[in-house]
Structure 1
Amino acid sequence: MAVIPTDERLLREIYKRYLRPFSEYSDENKTRSAKVWVPIDIMALAKRFRCDEDLIFGRLYYHMNAKYGSHTGSGDQVNFFSMRIGGDRHCVNFPLLASVLSDLQDERKRFIVSTRLAGLSLVVSAASIFIAIYR
């Protein structure tokens, strides 16, 4: 059984697959109901991560929509994922997805840097102890 993808891995895959369709939308080339809402293929994502499609859907609809959606100052709700926008099904708010992905990648980089610095300090401490004992 495959491991369920992290938010970052799932969003990175969606971003990679749908950046081009998002970018190609224009008033002359209306390929979907709205520019910011990009329909995604949940079945294809489930196959990519070798997991059940309901896990991907649930992650987007229940978890990420609640976690990353927000409200505007005027009280309007900004959804991360929507079941249907116009004639399109299973849509992500692509600019919001890109912002969330950027934040997740930044958090990951900070974690990696701090973990490496902690490892380096452990090595330096161990070397200092070794030198102090065997001198």
Structure 2
Amino acid sequence: MSKNVTDRVILKEVYKIYYSDFCNFDKEKPSRDTKIYVPIDCELIARNLNLDPEIVFGRLYYHLNQKHGYKQEDGTLIALFAKQIGSDRHVVQFPLLSAVLAEHEQSYLRFTIPLFLSIIALSFSIAAYFNT
């Protein structure tokens, strides 16, 4: 059975692969329609994570986009992931992805650091118990 990766892992992989593309946008010779919407390759991401490409697409489009996309006061929809923006297909709104990933990283650390410290404290307690 294939592993089921977290949203954090998928977003981190997208960020890792496409950060340089986002930064290297050239207004004089644009490689895509806009700077903030970066086209991604779900198959490449899936291959790197050992997943089916439809899982990556589905998680981005049906889950993460619904969870993190929003509507502005003027009614404009801001999508984390869109099937198409202009002539670009399968795009992520990179600044929003960056913010969402930062939140996921913060939550991960908020959970793992106390857990790690608790395991260390428990280890010291067990060692002290057996040394008495």
Contact 1:4/1:49, CA 8 A, preserved across alignment: no
TM-aligned CA deviation for residue 6 of structure 1? 1.2
TM-aligned CA deviation for residue 72 of structure 1? 2.1
Distance change in 2, residues 1:50/1:127 (3 Å): closer
RMSD of aligned residue pairs (Cα, Å): 1.8
Q: Which residue does 2:83 correspond to in 1?
A: 83
The one-letter amino acid of 1:85's match is I
Q: Which residue does 1:69 correspond to in 2?
A: 69
The one-letter amino acid of 1:105's match is E
TM-aligned CA deviation for residue 129 of structure 1? 5.2
Instruction: Give the TM-score normalised by the residue count of structure 2.
Output: 0.89
**C-alpha deviations, 1:54-98, integer Å up to 9, x for none?**
111100100000111122233322110000011110000111111
Larger Cα-atom Rg = 1
TM-aligned CA deviation for residue 107 of structure 1? 1.1
**C-alpha deviations, 1:20-71, integer Å up to 9, x for none?**
1111113213110111000001111122222221111100100000111122
Distance 2:126 2:43 in 1: 50
Contact 1:2/1:49, CA 8 A, preserved across alignment: no
Q: Which residue does 2:60 correspond to in 1?
A: 60
The one-letter amino acid of 2:60's match is L
Distance 1:49 1:120 in 2: 31
The equivalences for 1:78-117 within 5 A come to 78-117=78-117
Structure 2: runs of 5+ lacking an equivalent: none
Instruction: Give the TM-score normalised by the residue count of structure 1.
Output: 0.87
Aligned length: 132
The one-letter amino acid of 1:81's match is F
Structure 1: runs of 5+ lacking an equivalent: none
Q: Which residue does 2:37 correspond to in 1?
A: 37
Identical-residue share of aligned pairs (%): 37
